[in-house]
Amino acid sequence: MTQAAPAPAKTNGTGTVFTPDQLQYVDELKKGRFDLQWLKDPKPNWGIRAQMRNPNRGLTLQDINNAYAGEPEDAPKDRTMAPRGSVYDEDVPDMGYQYNQKYQVWADNVVALYEEACARQWSATRDIPWDELKPLPDDLERAQCQIATLLTEIEMIASDFPAKWLWQMNQHFHEVKMFLCTQAMDEARHLEVFRKRALANGGGLMRCLTGTEVFLKTILHAPTYIQGSFLMHVLGEGLVLDIFRGGEFLAKNKTEKEIYRLCMQDEARHVSYGTMHLKYFLEHHPERDKALAEMHMLAEAAELGIPGFLTNPYIIEPLAVLMGDGVKGIDKGMEAIRLVWVRMREEYLNRCALAGFDRRSVTKVPEQAPF
């Protein structure tokens, strides 16, 4: 939209700044004359009554979208915060959004995921049975704390990364932005719960490694949203989801079981959005073949780095100790880790396949753990 030059501001004699239009309106109000144009404006949604499909759930975004202004446009012409479906001035400012095409941000499950995220928020203070946490043998406490330190370190990348891109997404796609806000909150809570676990049972925070930070930096500074989203939602959070799923084995008490169970619920949403976003991106990209080739190059580079990233004594050994129920059982634990490797690889390839991104025949992730 072309921008009209702003009218020069004036004061009404009290130092308060008004535009000429505002000054005129003040004069009219003083004479008891109201504008009331808002009563005469076109009313595109007058008479719309969104119906609850399920009264037990309440009035959802899907209900609203079903009733009115459901599907966003592929390429909205304006870059405004005025809500989709509203009537707005022609000279609204350009907000400077960089992501103005639906395929750049959308996923077909994002509306449902937002509703689920709101319905399943939990409190790391109140909803974890902290009083069930009892002293553990030193090796198990250290192992839990090393994993809790790693998770405290990495969780907030999935707040920082969406927050970095959020303001650049056109508000026409408000559902995506709202979902990413829930993700940022989820990850804040994950940081909180693992930090609390590390500090609640005598172990404390442990070691952070350069390699982990390098991976986080790659995500944070990815040059485009889709590249960072693939690295984070599809690859990184997918691996974290597999760690959470192993929570039944990792947990030594009800406290830890509940931490992993609740985090797993949240993480599954993030992975699900990222997978379906990749699918939407690839299906709707105007230069699909080029986009596909670029994503394969990115995936190949990332996959080549996975074995080195995961073959890390501060990751696999505490996991093996937890799985083997102590240092004495570390060999048994490593057997379990090798099985987890196969499952992680399989689930990553399945996620890619679900997105229509076939990595199975070309993946660089070794079939078996390299240890």
Return residues touching Fe ion (CB under 5 A).
155, 158, 187, 190, 237, 267, 270
Which of residues 236 and 324 has its CB atom nearest to Fe ion in the complex? 236
State the minimum distance, in angstroms, from the CB of residue 60 to Fe ion: 22
State the minimum distance, in angstroms, from the CB of residue 173 to Fe ion: 20
Query: 3-state secondary structure string, the chain?
Result: CCCCCCCCCEECCCCCEECHHHHHHHHHHHCCCCCCHHHCCCCCCCCCCCCCCCCCCCCCHHHHHHHCCCCCCCCCCCCCCCCCCCCCCCCCCCCCCCECCHHHCCCCCHHHHHHHHHHCCCCCCCCCCHHHCCCCCHHHHHHHHHHHHHHHHHHCHHHHHHHHHHCCECHHHHHHHHHHHHHHHHHHHHHHHHHHHHHCCCCCCCCCCHHHHHHHHHHHCCCCHHHHHHHHHHHHHHHHHHHHHCHHHHCCCHHHHHHHHHHHHHHHHHHHHHHHHHHHHHHHCCCHHHHHHHHHHHHHHHHHHHHHHHCCHHHHHHHHHHHCCCHHHHHHHHHHHHHHHHHHHHHHHHHHHHCCCCCCCCCCCCCCCCC
State the minimum distance, in angstroms, from the CB of residue 341 to Fe ion: 21
State the minimum distance, in angstroms, from the CB of residue 309 to Fe ion: 17
Which of residues 117 and 334 has its CB atom nearest to Fe ion in the complex? 117
Which of residues 270 and 285 has its CB atom nearest to Fe ion in the complex? 270
Which of residues 273 and 281 has its CB atom nearest to Fe ion in the complex? 273
Which of residues 150 and 365 has its CB atom nearest to Fe ion in the complex? 150
